[in-house]
């Protein structure tokens, strides 16, 4: 056991003169998961942030090397568990690209609908969790009220509420539940009615705005250089929505706007996500009555063998660009898989954004980065 003086002298624990080293995480109310940040403080001002990763590292990339092309898709649900549909979609896409499978029109629409519902659910959870980071507990329950409806819809069609495993190479696993359309319409109606409550409770709250504006500023150049994607980059004015620039499925046929804010602070990122929820609702409204009849899954071989080569597919998850890079040697299992996760790059910008600000600002910055730790560790 250490004596008191030994601990005081240990600079890795206590920092050098005038510094205070505190650990935020791996168990801490502000880190939603097992992120571990070692923060050097000078009073309340942050001098250095050092992320320690790996608490939930499962080496999914290695695991996938021994899984078949049908199996590995489901492991990706366990990465960014809040956008599991979109992760599955990206992985299924990459296999389809390699196999050159043509997907039925019905499956495409169902995939897009599911992706957008997932995006809304993810942003709802983020809204609640971020407000909680700032000390407001109530928005969490309001956000979960709507998220619960989406989870119920998912449960009926996919049989799961979090890790859906609904996408298969060539389409979706099952047809949608008969109540699907009616329930989604009910959700859209409720969302449009209740979303004003978020504005009253959160967006227009003066304390909230003061906590967010001018906090954690990320310039446009830095956002690109740090490889930030998704709402984080779009809050800094970087146009990076994969749905717009490299449309997949039927995103080129639906009308929606890429949400851009230019301030680059936490409030801009907040506004991007809130406005994105409205855009997702817009997409859902266009598609929900126009699900074409037909097959929900293309006919595929039981055992998939990707031809020799390299395949990369990019999709836009709720957190940013998710990339799947498959290197195939022509076998039934991939030779190497790399998952490019949005959270990993977004986290790398954290120190740059939070340095020199107050400890309380770190929570606002971290909250608007919307980190999902299994996505970062993989």
Closer CB to another protein, residue 118 or residue 236? 236
Tokens 């097959």 found at:
295
Closer CB to another protein, residue 174 or residue 246? 246
Q: How far is the CB of 371 from another protein (least distance, A)?
A: 13
Q: How far is the CB of 155 from another protein (least distance, A)?
A: 21
Q: How far is the CB of 349 from another protein (least distance, A)?
A: 8
Q: How far is the CB of 154 from another protein (least distance, A)?
A: 22
Closer CB to another protein, residue 105 or residue 136? 136
Closer CB to another protein, residue 116 or residue 265? 265
Closer CB to another protein, residue 166 or residue 226? 226
Q: How far is the CB of 188 from another protein (least distance, A)?
A: 20
> How far is it, in rounded angstroms, from Cα 102 to Cα 68?
20
| 20-24, strands of its sheet edge to edge | 20-24, 36-42, 45-52
> How far is it, in rounded angstroms, from Cα 39 to Cα 19?
10
> How far is it, in rounded angstroms, from Cα 269 to Cα 230?
10
Closer CB to another protein, residue 22 or residue 186? 22
- For residue 82, count other CB atoms closer than 10 A to its CB: 25
Strands 36-42 and 321-328: unpaired
The answer to whether the bond into 26 is cis (omega within 30° of 0) is yes
Non-local CB neighbours of 348 within 8 Å, separated by 6+ positions: 226, 227
Q: How far is the CB of 113 from another protein (least distance, A)?
A: 27
Tokens of 332: 């039934």
> How far is it, in rounded angstroms, from Cα 307 to Cα 62?
20
Tokens of 7: 């601990």
């Amino acid at each position: 056991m250490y004596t008191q003086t030994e601990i005081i002298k240990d600079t890795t624990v206590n920092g050098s003169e005038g510094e205070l080293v505190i650990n935020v995480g791996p168990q801490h109310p502000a880190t939603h998961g097992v992120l571990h940040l070692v923060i050097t403080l000078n009073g309340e001002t942050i001098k250095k942030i050092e992320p320690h990763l790996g608490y939930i590292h499962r080496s999914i990339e290695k695991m996938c090397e021994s899984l078949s092309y049908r199996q590995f898709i489901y492991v990706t649900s366990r990465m960014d568990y809040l956008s599991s549909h979109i992760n599955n979609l990206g992985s299924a896409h990459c296999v389809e690209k390699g196999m050159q499978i043509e997907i039925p029109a019905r499956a495409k629409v169902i995939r897009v609908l599911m992706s957008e519902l997932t995006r809304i659910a993810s942003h709802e959870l983020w809204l609640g969790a971020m407000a909680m980071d700032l000390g407001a507990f109530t928005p969490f329950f309001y956000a979960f009220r709507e998220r619960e409806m989406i989870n119920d819809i998912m449960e009926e069609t996919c049989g799961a509420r979090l890790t859906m495993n609904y996408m298969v190479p060539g389409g979706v696993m099952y047809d949608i539940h008969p109540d699907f359309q009616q329930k989604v319409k009910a959700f859209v109606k409720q969302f449009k009615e209740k979303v004003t409550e978020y504005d009253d409770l959160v967006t227009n709250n003066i304390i909230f705005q003061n906590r967010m504006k001018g906090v954690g500023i990320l310039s446009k150049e830095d956002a690109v250089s740090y490889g930030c994607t998704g709402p984080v980059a779009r809050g800094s004015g970087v146009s990076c929505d994969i749905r717009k620039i490299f449309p997949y499925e039927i995103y080129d046929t639906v009308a929606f706007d890429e949400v851009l804010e230019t301030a680059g602070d936490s409030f801009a990122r907040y506004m991007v996500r809130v406005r994105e929820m409205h855009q997702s609702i817009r997409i859902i409204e266009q598609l929900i009555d126009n699900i074409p009849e037909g097959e929900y899954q293309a006919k595929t071989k039981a055992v998939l063998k990707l031809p020799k080569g390299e395949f990369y597919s990019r999709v836009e998850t709720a957190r940013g660009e998710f990339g799947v890079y498959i290197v195939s040697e022509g076998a039934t299992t991939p030779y190497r898989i790399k998952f490019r996760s949005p959270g990993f790059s977004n986290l790398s910008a954290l120190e740059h954004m939070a340095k020199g600000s107050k400890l309380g600002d770190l929570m606002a910055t971290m909250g608007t980065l919307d980190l999902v730790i299994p996505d970062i560790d993989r």
